[in-house]
Chains A and B, each alone.
Chain A
Amino acid sequence: MTNKHTISILVENKTGVLQRIAGLFTRRDFNIDNISVGKTSVENMSRITITTYGDDKTLEQIIKQLNKLIEVIKVREMKPDQTIRRQLALVKIHAPTEEDKSEIIQYTNIFRGKIADVTPKTITVEITGNPDKINALIDLLRPYGIKEMTKTGTTAITRGQKTL
């Protein structure tokens, strides 16, 4: 059965590592739904978070193949119920009237987003949260007319005391 999986990868922070990982997904016909990369608290170590779709067998292969890369230090699947997942979205919405603006600001506040920019005709909203929450806000804003939108990849960390 095809499921969504979040995989967290600790890698040596060297040139070409991202290319190696992305290339592995391409070559082996695995899917990358989204990807985010950033430094960790340890020098020379980065963390890559990938969300992907696939059955359990595919997930097992993805993890095993990632482990084969020399620059990969650790790979883990992040269990959904024990994982904090966050995304950032910036959404520019068509808002020519004061009424539109007021409604959009209200929705944004409910979702604990921020107003990043306002012009006479548009309003730009910044929101972080788990991907479902972001999608819910975007669905509410869509009827006003989304002029432009950008989302980061999901980044994730385990709940509780456990670390990767």
Chain B
Amino acid sequence: MNGSEALLKKLKENGTDVVFGYPGGVLLPLYDSIYDCDIKHILVRHEQAAAHAADGYARASGKTGVCIATSGPGATNLVTGIATAQMDSSPVIALTGQVGTPIIGTDAFQEVDTIGITMPITKTNFQPRDSSDVPKIIDAAYHIASTGRQGVVVVDLPKDVLENEVTDEDMDAKLEIQGYKPNTNGNPRQITKAIQTILNCKKPIILAGGGVILADASKELVEFATKANIPVATSLMGKGSIPEDHELSLGLLGMHGLESTNNAVTDCDCLIAIGCRFSDRTTGKVSEFASDAVKIQIDIDPAEIGKNVDIDIPIVGNAKIILEKFIGEIDGVNHGDWTKQIVSKRWAYKPKYNFGCVPFKPQECIKEIMEAITPETIVTTDVGQNQMWMAHYFKTKNPRTFISSGGLGTMGYALPAAIGAQVAKPDEHVLAVAGDGGFQMVSQELATIKEYDLPIVTCILNNRYLGMVYQWQVLYYNNRISQTELAPTPDFVQLAKSYGIDAVSVEEIGKLKENIMEAFDQGEARVIEVKIDSSELLPMVPPGEKITKIVGEYKQEE
């Protein structure tokens, strides 16, 4: 068995049956082995998409996603996708080709220092210098990517390492990692202290982040919130951790959060943050963020505790395990009128749509999307206004069904992430929501969708602008619209059709919904362009301001 075969065998052993990749010179041995192995290979059209697809696959399924790119430009094209996955703690293994060990360091053809480049944007990275090290390094890569705070592991594979012999003995070898021992159980004393605090406080709020979803702790979150009668706000990454039509759900917090939610968190006397890293987009001005609250933070990563916000009661551990302990100790807490009052404010708040406007208002699009899909439908979003409209108005019901680039804010994410999600969940409907800007960064992946017959529905909210940046220019740069107008945009219908994908541009109310449902019914990919009103701006909290200082308003239903 050679290095390539050993590698593929190890992928299989670790539960991987699909990889997303793009071949190249130094990967010839690997692709030769892929030729007759039973791991499915999805050929993307750009390596960035391979990384996003592996990431989308991981987020939709909870399994570790794997992507492959060749050395040099292949590896550098992966970088954006690697950083995206790492920022949102998505378990991904990126396999990169490298020139042969005898010529490493000589500026050989397509040589780049992948280890050096990816060091600051991965959980860790490896470069086996000997074929015999491949099996144990792959096992370690899976272990590290999928445990503790999940993340990205890069394995850089020199060509000769893929070619040389690996023995059966090598297959059983284990890599000693002395320094890596994630703590999952939480300190019992801190847990007791947290429970006492929760029982004694008057105005508690739970802030659920992506960590709840990563720990598959949504069921426990809802059970705890219900038992303790505490309203739940979410960060962008926490969307779906509690069904957003649940009576205790407060929806999104932060820069583009709901006003009622931002006010509630500001007023609370006890904030229970679970798997949330207090990004500046969530907290606004840190010194005025829930400043009267006792803060409890549960996180698997000790370095997140107290990093951005000072914490009174830290608990290092897995969200599911800690919540189970909470559930065992807390039952039927009375916080007076607080919960009722906070929850009623949220539920009195209903976004108002400007029905019947042409061009469409984005709110109307989201309303139609919600009406067209089921709670199981996986929705991926791009980055910018489209993402924030979705984050604000769209009600996610199940974990792992709202997939979005939070930390890095990567334009072009929606389409390739949808490819990964669809491959992970072939029986579910997948909808990608993108803006015209982000879509144009990755539109070549329509070819991948066609080739593998993936029934992904892509909705392009076309406002002919880089909407979010345009919005900041309007609000904070005196209307000086610098380089954010994307005219002319291509004819998206023609573009999609040239890839053999059904496409339509909708201008009539109800047609978006109708097209989504029809495409899902037929089980075929479709691109639906909606020209939306480019003058529609999102209300927001100015960067660095307190989260109650919202500029503009989300229109409410009369």
The interface residues of chain B lying within 8 Å CB-to-CB of A60 are 306
The interface residues of chain A lying within 8 Å CB-to-CB of B487 are none
Known contacts: A16-B119, A23-B119. The answer to whether A70 contacts B177 by CB under 8 A is yes
State in angstroms the CA–CA spacing of A11 and B180 once bound together. Answer: 12
Q: Are A72 and B303 in contact (CB under 8 A)?
A: no
Q: Are B119 and A61 in contact (CB under 8 A)?
A: no
Q: Are A72 and B119 in contact (CB under 8 A)?
A: no
Q: Are B144 and A61 in contact (CB under 8 A)?
A: no
Q: Are B179 and A74 in contact (CB under 8 A)?
A: yes
Per-residue CB contact flags for chain A residues 1-34 toward chain B (1 = under 8 Å, else 0) read 0000000000110001001100110010000000
Q: Are A67 and B303 in contact (CB under 8 A)?
A: yes
State in angstroms the CA–CA spacing of A74 and B124 once bound together. Answer: 17
State in angstroms the CA–CA spacing of A19 and B113 once bound together. Answer: 13
Per-residue CB contact flags for chain B residues 120-139 toward chain A (1 = under 8 Å, else 0) read 10011000000000000000
- Chain B residues numbered 293-309 whose CB sits less than 8 Å from any CB in chain A: 301-303, 305-307
State in angstroms the CA–CA spacing of A58 and B120 once bound together. Answer: 19
Known contacts: A19-B119, A68-B301, A70-B123. The answer to whether A12 contacts B178 by CB under 8 A is yes
23 A-B contacts (beta carbon < 8 Å) = A11-B179, A12-B179, A16-B115, A16-B116, A19-B116, A19-B119, A20-B119, A23-B119, A23-B120, A24-B120, A60-B306, A61-B307, A64-B307, A67-B179, A67-B302, A67-B303, A68-B301, A70-B123, A70-B144, A70-B179, A70-B180, A71-B179, A72-B179
State in angstroms the CA–CA spacing of A82 and B298 once bound together. Answer: 34
A109: CB under 8 A from chain B?
Answer: no
The interface residues of chain A lying within 8 Å CB-to-CB of B115 are 16
The interface residues of chain A lying within 8 Å CB-to-CB of B178 are 12, 73
- Chain A residues numbered 48-94 whose CB sits less than 8 Å from any CB in chain B: 57, 60-61, 64-65, 67-74
The interface residues of chain B lying within 8 Å CB-to-CB of A19 are 116, 119
The interface residues of chain B lying within 8 Å CB-to-CB of A61 are 303, 307
Number of interface residues of A (CB under 8 A): 21
State in angstroms the CA–CA spacing of A23 and B125 once bound together. Answer: 14
User: Considering residues B124, B144, B178, B180, which has the most beta carbons from chain A within 10 angstroms of its beta carbon?
Assistant: B178
Given A73-B178, A73-B179; 6 other pairs, CB 8 A cutoff: A12-B179, A19-B119, A64-B302, A68-B301, A71-B124, A71-B179
The interface residues of chain A lying within 8 Å CB-to-CB of B120 are 23-24, 27
B residues with CB within 8 A of A: 115-116, 119-120, 123-124, 144, 177-180, 301-303, 305-307
The interface residues of chain A lying within 8 Å CB-to-CB of B305 are 64
CB closest residue in chain B, given A64: B303
State in angstroms the CA–CA spacing of A74 and B178 once bound together. Answer: 9
A residues with CB within 8 A of B: 11-12, 16, 19-20, 23-24, 27, 57, 60-61, 64-65, 67-74
CB closest residue in chain A, given B305: A64
The interface residues of chain A lying within 8 Å CB-to-CB of B123 are 70
The interface residues of chain A lying within 8 Å CB-to-CB of B179 are 11-12, 67, 69-74
Q: Are B303 and A68 in contact (CB under 8 A)?
A: yes
The interface residues of chain B lying within 8 Å CB-to-CB of A57 are 306
State in angstroms the CA–CA spacing of A12 and B175 once bound together. Answer: 12
CB closest residue in chain B, given A66: B303
Q: Are A65 and B303 in contact (CB under 8 A)?
A: yes
Top 8 A-B pairs, shortest CB-CB distance: A64-B303, A70-B124, A73-B179, A73-B178, A72-B179, A27-B120, A70-B180, A65-B303
CB closest residue in chain A, given B177: A70
State in angstroms the CA–CA spacing of A22 and B484 once bound together. Answer: 38
In the complex, how many angstroms separate the beta carbon of B311 from the nearest chain A beta carbon? 11
In the complex, how many angstroms separate the beta carbon of A16 from the nearest chain B beta carbon? 6
The interface residues of chain B lying within 8 Å CB-to-CB of A68 are 301, 303
State in angstroms the CA–CA spacing of A24 and B120 once bound together. Answer: 7
The interface residues of chain A lying within 8 Å CB-to-CB of B306 are 57, 60
In the complex, how many angstroms separate the beta carbon of B303 from the nearest chain A beta carbon? 4
State in angstroms the CA–CA spacing of A65 and B178 once bound together. Answer: 17
In the complex, how many angstroms separate the beta carbon of A45 from the nearest chain B beta carbon? 9
In the complex, how many angstroms separate the beta carbon of B362 from the nearest chain A beta carbon? 36
In the complex, how many angstroms separate the beta carbon of A8 from the nearest chain B beta carbon? 14
User: Considering residues A11, A16, A23, A74, which has the most beta carbons from chain B within 10 angstroms of its beta carbon?
Assistant: A16
CB closest residue in chain B, given A61: B307
CB closest residue in chain A, given B124: A70
CB closest residue in chain A, given B120: A27
The interface residues of chain B lying within 8 Å CB-to-CB of A12 are 178-179
In the complex, how many angstroms separate the beta carbon of A59 from the nearest chain B beta carbon? 12
State in angstroms the CA–CA spacing of A57 and B307 once bound together. Answer: 8
The interface residues of chain B lying within 8 Å CB-to-CB of A27 are 120
CB closest residue in chain A, given B116: A19
The interface residues of chain A lying within 8 Å CB-to-CB of B124 are 69-71
In the complex, how many angstroms separate the beta carbon of B287 from the nearest chain A beta carbon? 14
State in angstroms the CA–CA spacing of A12 and B180 once bound together. Answer: 12
In the complex, how many angstroms separate the beta carbon of B335 from the nearest chain A beta carbon? 32
In the complex, how many angstroms separate the beta carbon of B495 from the nearest chain A beta carbon? 39
State in angstroms the CA–CA spacing of A61 and B303 once bound together. Answer: 6
CB closest residue in chain B, given A45: B178
State in angstroms the CA–CA spacing of A65 and B179 once bound together. Answer: 13
In the complex, how many angstroms separate the beta carbon of B496 from the nearest chain A beta carbon? 40
State in angstroms the CA–CA spacing of A27 and B121 once bound together. Answer: 10
User: Considering residues B177, B179, B180, which has the most beta carbons from chain A within 10 angstroms of its beta carbon?
Assistant: B179
State in angstroms the CA–CA spacing of A43 and B116 once bound together. Answer: 25
State in angstroms the CA–CA spacing of A16 and B117 once bound together. Answer: 12
In the complex, how many angstroms separate the beta carbon of A164 from the nearest chain B beta carbon? 13
CB closest residue in chain B, given A10: B179
The interface residues of chain B lying within 8 Å CB-to-CB of A11 are 179
CB closest residue in chain A, given B125: A16
